[in-house]
């Protein structure tokens, strides 16, 4: 019985050795597993990963600005006592037009990161949005939406940025 286990163990080791000596899987092992410990980027080093096992820290390292942006919006809304907020998220074209270096997550990703519902300017539930993210003086600001004309003005500015980007790219409206 022990002899069978030893033979199976040796066979498994040989199969793994052959598997990782093939060109494709050998390169994968060298770049993804072995060299990750020797990486020049601090976040990719094994020691850094080992010292930062907290799930929140790992999300910040992996997801970067979209996660921290979502968390900051949720924290702001909680601090201001927002009840059932639905945040109107700006399109990426709006952000680029205002020369802000930020990636805005999609509404579902935004909800996944912070538990707050989000909507785009062309979403079905856009008229229920009671908070909006706008650009002021080169920074993003969260404002409450007081009435329908204010919501319409924000949507129009978002739509205008998207239309300008589409025209610049040669796409129809």
Going from N- to C-terminal start, the domains of the chain cover 2-51, 61-168
Task: Tell me the backbone φ, ψ of residue 72, rounded to 5 degrees.
Answer: -65, -40
pLDDT in tens, 118-162: 999 999 999 999 999 999 888 999 999 999 999 999 999 999 999
| CB-side neighbour CA atoms (13 Å) of 160 | 8
Strand partners, 144: 131
**Confidence (pTM):** 0.69
């Amino acid at each position: 019985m022990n002899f069978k286990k030893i033979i199976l163990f040796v066979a498994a080791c040989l199969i793994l050795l052959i598997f990782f000596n093939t060109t494709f899987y050998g390169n994968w092992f060298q770049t993804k597993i072995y060299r990750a410990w020797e990486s020049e980027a601090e976040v990719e080093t094994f020691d850094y990963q080992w010292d930062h096992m907290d799930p929140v820290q790992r999300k910040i390292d992996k997801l970067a600005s979209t996660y921290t942006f979502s968390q900051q919006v949720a924290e702001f809304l909680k601090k201001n006592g927002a009840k059932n907020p639905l945040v109107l998220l700006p399109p990426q074209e709006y952000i680029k037009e205002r020369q802000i270096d930020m990636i805005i997550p999609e509404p579902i990703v935004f909800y996944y990161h912070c538990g707050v519902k989000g909507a785009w300017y062309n979403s079905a539930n856009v008229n229920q949005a009671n908070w909006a993210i706008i650009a002021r003086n080169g920074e993003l600001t969260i404002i409450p939406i007081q009435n329908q004309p204010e919501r319409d003005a924000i949507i129009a500015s978002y739509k205008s940025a998207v239309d300008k980007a589409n025209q610049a790219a040669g796409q129809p409206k």
